[in-house]
């Protein structure tokens, strides 16, 4: 077992690691992820005892032995023996003037037990066979080092002819295999891998991953990487390192699916992946070492005063450990059992939603499904008949001035939401004037600031224009700037791109994502276009006849939708239906019928009128062609 307690590393008067506590058991693979400069490689080097004397403090126990309190000779015997490391820079790890076969033999010969293990491996050449083979028959130990080297080459997928090659004669993937072979030569209990697939092409990377999946079998492994997909494939546990401190640790798959710390979420959002729907987002600002308080507070959009002065301790939150004074990413908006009725008609019924700080939740559905009613009910623009709405943990009653300074809405038609009697500057100034925020000069400065953030010019000529003198995209940007003037935490965007052409749509969506990245906005995106939701949202809630029929992470909903209505929305957006398929879908019950239609006064489940064959009366011989005719 590897046990690390209170590990601190200081170099050039800068504290690189600041109190690391970790445990790795036999069979565990712990991945350390984080940005460059977080201290990942320093952690691996400190365990191996490869830092300058006195740089590291604390306790590092390997199988009960404190690596910081043994002699250099004892440590040298452990390195390459009980513990080994695959280094980040392959070129530096191999001797350029020595054949690779000789380098492997050297690694074996330094620790005699390595030869015995390799010989007991026999002709199978399976890396898993390296485990548990110590202390075999003495007579077999007389075999040559060269025989052991050849078997090890085969074990990592290389032919024995490669033994006579120099490093410069090998490809990057082959050199990485040699490096892994040298690390495994003496069957170490602990294997440290520092960026083992960095700079490799995708095909070679997959080969190395398959090799490592076998090599890590039944041993302690520490994987240091910025490659999130590699961590997902190899590690069963994950620790997120930021500025020398661990900010989140737990089950690897759970953290990847539902990150709890704001930094972890930002890191995952920044990583390009083939199965990722939403566009990439970065983390604003740069990492700083030596800050007081939470190391992430200067880049965190949900920070509070205590974050600036007090270091948060790791605390258990939903099955993992998170270092955050607020317990991780906090709920911004909570809707519980919300209902809205107009006379005898129920527009919303039993709606439950949670929107977290800094995320985008898309509410999708056809026209008439209740999307706009939901947004208006949250804003207090229509009366709710049941349920509760919470903002930042506080139950909302009558919406007051304080509410509208924290929550703003962007309406569907920008030219109707911005007064035609106001200039650009006047329109953005209006909420600041109503709330009396600062002096007149400060209000003008703030208005120009948000107009610039909305990527509009702040020339006197542009600021004096009226809405009819602007394009649709420009008016929508003015509406966005107006909504941002009061620095809200929540932005409700009701079909913000539906009236715009595709190129302008893309720019508006990108603008909203950039603003969210910089300001930590929570965005409730109301849209009928699931393709828009795909590119802009973290999670999707599907609304049908005033009820949520499906909710989940955007990637999960798009790849594995459960509800037939959701599948129909996705298929329609993909353009996979021709008219024949649409008619055929009536039998399948996918998209047969219209949301707002009453079926002979019937009541029941929200999909009842879309179930197979249930269009109008069950026995009615309806011409299916009429069902797809616009009335």
The tens digit of pLDDT for each residue in 287-298 reads 988 889 999 999
How do residues 425-478 score in pLDDT, each as one tens digit? 999 999 999 998 989 999 999 999 999 999 999 999 999 999 999 998 899 999
Task: Select the more confidently predicted residue: 414 or 116.
Answer: 414
449 Cβ contact partners less than 8 Å away, ≥ 6 residues apart: none
Query: Mean pLDDT, the chain, as a whole number?
Result: 84
- From the centroid of its chain, how far is CA 247? 15
Residue 350 phi, psi dihedral angles, 5° rounding: 60, 40
By the 8 A CB rule, do 317 and 327 touch?
Answer: yes
How do residues 47-87 score in pLDDT, each as one tens digit? 999 999 889 999 999 999 999 999 988 898 888 889 999 99
Fold agreement between 2-115+156-235 and 331-575: yes
What are the sequence ranges of the domains in the chain? Answer: 2-115+156-235, 331-575
How confident is the model at residue 504, as a pLDDT? 83
Q: Which CATH superfamily is domain 331-575 in?
A: P-loop containing nucleotide triphosphate hydrolases (3.40.50.300)
Q: Is the pTM of this model over 0.85?
A: no
Distance in angstroms (rounded) separating the CA atoms of residues 560 and 589: 18
Give SS3 for 132. Answer: coil
Q: Judging by beta carbons within 10 Å of its beta carbon (0-12, 13-18, 19+), is residue 108 exposed, middle or buried?
A: buried
With a cut of 90, say whether residue 487 has pLDDT above it. yes
Cα–Cα distances in angstroms (integers) from residue 451 to residues 456, 483, 484, 622, in the given order: 6, 10, 9, 55
Encoded tokens for 170: 């090998």
By the 8 A CB rule, do 541 and 350 touch?
Answer: no
Encoded tokens for 30: 């712990």
Q: Edge-to-edge strands of the sheet including 360-364?
A: 407-410, 490-494, 522-527, 360-364, 539-544, 547-553
Closest CA to 208 of 190, 195, 191, 221: 195
By the 8 A CB rule, do 222 and 192 touch?
Answer: yes
How do residues 283-341 score in pLDDT, each as one tens digit? 888 898 888 999 999 999 899 999 999 999 999 988 899 999 999 999 999 999 999 99
Q: What is the mean pLDDT of residues 159-180?
A: 91
By the 8 A CB rule, do 542 and 606 touch?
Answer: no
DSSP string, 328-373: SSPEEEEEEEEEEEETTEEEEEEEEEEEETT-EEEEE--TTSSHHH
By the 8 A CB rule, do 357 and 301 touch?
Answer: yes
Q: Which CATH superfamily is domain 2-115+156-235 in?
A: P-loop containing nucleotide triphosphate hydrolases (3.40.50.300)
How confident is the model at residue 583, as a pLDDT? 41
């Amino acid at each position: 077992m590897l046990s690390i307690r209170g590990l601190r590393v200081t170099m050039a008067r800068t504290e690189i690691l600041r109190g690391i506590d970790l445990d790795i058991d036999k069979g565990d693979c712990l991945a350390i992820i984080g940005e460059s400069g977080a201290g990942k490689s320093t952690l691996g080097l400190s365990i191996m005892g490869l830092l300058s004397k006195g740089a590291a403090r604390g306790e590092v126990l390997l199988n009960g032995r404190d690596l910081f309190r043994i002699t250099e000779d004892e440590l040298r015997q452990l390195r390459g023996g009980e513990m080994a490391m695959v280094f980040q820079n392959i070129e530096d790890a191999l001797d350029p003037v020595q054949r690779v076969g000789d380098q492997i033999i050297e690694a074996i010969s330094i620790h005699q037990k390595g030869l015995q293990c390799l010989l007991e491996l026999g002709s199978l050449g399976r890396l898993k066979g390296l485990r548990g083979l110590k202390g075999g028959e003495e007579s077999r130990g007389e075999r040559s080092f060269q025989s052991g080297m050849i078997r090890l080459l085969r074990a990592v997928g290389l032919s024995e002819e490669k033994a006579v090659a120099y490093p410069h004669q090998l490809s990057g993937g082959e050199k990485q295999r040699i490096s892994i072979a040298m690390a495994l030569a003496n069957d170490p209990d602990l294997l440290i891998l520092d960026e083992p697939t960095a700079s490799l092409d995708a095909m070679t990377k997959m080969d190395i991953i398959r090799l490592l999946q076998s090599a890590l079998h039944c041993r302690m492994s520490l994987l240091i990487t910025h490659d999130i997909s590699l961590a997902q494939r190899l590690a069963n546990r994950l620790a997120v390192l930021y500025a020398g401190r661990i900010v989140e640790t737990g089950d690897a798959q759970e953290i990847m699916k539902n990150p709890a710390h704001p930094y972890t979420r930002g890191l995952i959002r920044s990583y390009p992946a083939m199965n990722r729907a939403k566009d990439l987002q970065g983390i604003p600002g740069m990492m700083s070492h030596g800050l007081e308080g939470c190391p992430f507070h200067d880049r965190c959009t949900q920070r509070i005063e205590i974050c600036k002065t007090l270091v948060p301790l790791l605390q258990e939150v939903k099955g993992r450990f998170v270092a955050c004074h607020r317990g991780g990413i906090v709920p911004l908006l909570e809707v519980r059992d919300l209902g809205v009725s107009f006379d005898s008609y129920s527009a919303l019924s039993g709606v439950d939603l949670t929107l977290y700080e800094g995320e985008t939740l898309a509410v999708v559905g056809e026209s008439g499904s209740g999307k706009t009613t939901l947004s208006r009910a949250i804003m207090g623009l229509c009366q709710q008949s049941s349920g509760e709405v919470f903002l930042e943990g506080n139950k909302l009653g009558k919406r007051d001035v304080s509410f509208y300074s924290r929550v703003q809405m962007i309406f569907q038609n920008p030219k109707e939401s911005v007064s035609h009697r106001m200039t650009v500057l006047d329109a953005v100034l209006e909420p600041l004037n109503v709330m009396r925020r600062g002096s007149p000069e400060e209000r003008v400065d703030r208005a120009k600031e948000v107009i610039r953030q909305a990527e509009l010019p702040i020339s006197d000529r542009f600021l004096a224009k009226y809405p009819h003198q602007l394009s649709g995209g420009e008016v929508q940007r003015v509406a966005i700037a107006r909504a941002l003037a009061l620095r809200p935490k929540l932005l409700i965007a009701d079909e913000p791109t539906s009236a715009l052409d595709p190129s302008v749509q893309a720019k508006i969506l990108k603008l909203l994502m950039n603003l969210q990245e910089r300001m930590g906005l929570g965005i409730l995106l109301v849209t009928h276009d699931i393709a828009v939701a795909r590119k802009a949202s973290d999670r999707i809630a599907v609304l049908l006849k005033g009820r949520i029929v499906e909710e989940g992470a955007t990637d999960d909903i798009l790849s594995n939708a459960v509800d037939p209505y959701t599948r129909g929305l996705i298929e329609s957006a993909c353009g996979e239906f021709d008219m024949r398929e649409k008619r055929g879908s009536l039998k399948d019950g996918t998209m047969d019928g219209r949301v707002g239609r009453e079926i002979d006064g019937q009541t029941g489940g929200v999909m009842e009128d879309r179930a197979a064959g249930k269009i109008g009366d069950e026995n009615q011989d309806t011409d299916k062609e009429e069902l797809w005719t616009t009335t």
